[in-house]
Amino acid sequence: MGRDKLQDPQVDELFRAILALENLDECYRFFEDLCTTAEIKAMAQRLAVARLLRHGVTYSAIAAATGASTATISRVKRFLNYGADGYKLILDRLDKRK
């Protein structure tokens, strides 16, 4: 999905709201109201898969560690390699904070 398909005033407002969150507790509070538990866990799982793929972990080990399907792992890998570099951006920032 290209940014042109995603970008509109409502999505802009959602992203501004996310950027306005100041701490982990605020994130939990907002996302618990915004998303289902399954949606939040799916996003967290994809981020975990991306991190493991970046470290060269095999699909079978990723599936065992995260519970992700091979289809999800393949999709994340495709976006890691050919996406908008969003995973790379956030994983680099998270790694710098450690």
pTM of the model: 0.90
Contact between 25 and 34 under an 8 Å Cβ cutoff? The reply is no
What is the pLDDT, as a whole number, of residue 2? Answer: 64
pLDDT digits (tens, 9 = 90+) for 51-91: 999 999 999 999 999 999 999 999 999 999 999 999 999 99
CATH 1.10.1270.10 intervals, the chain: 37-98
Which among 95, 91, 94, 47 has a CA at the least distance from the CA of 73? 47
DSSP string over 3-35: HHHH-SHHHHHHHHHHHH--SHHHHHHHHHHHS
Task: Mention the CATH class of domain 37-98.
Answer: mainly alpha
Residue 3 has pLDDT above 80, yes or no: no
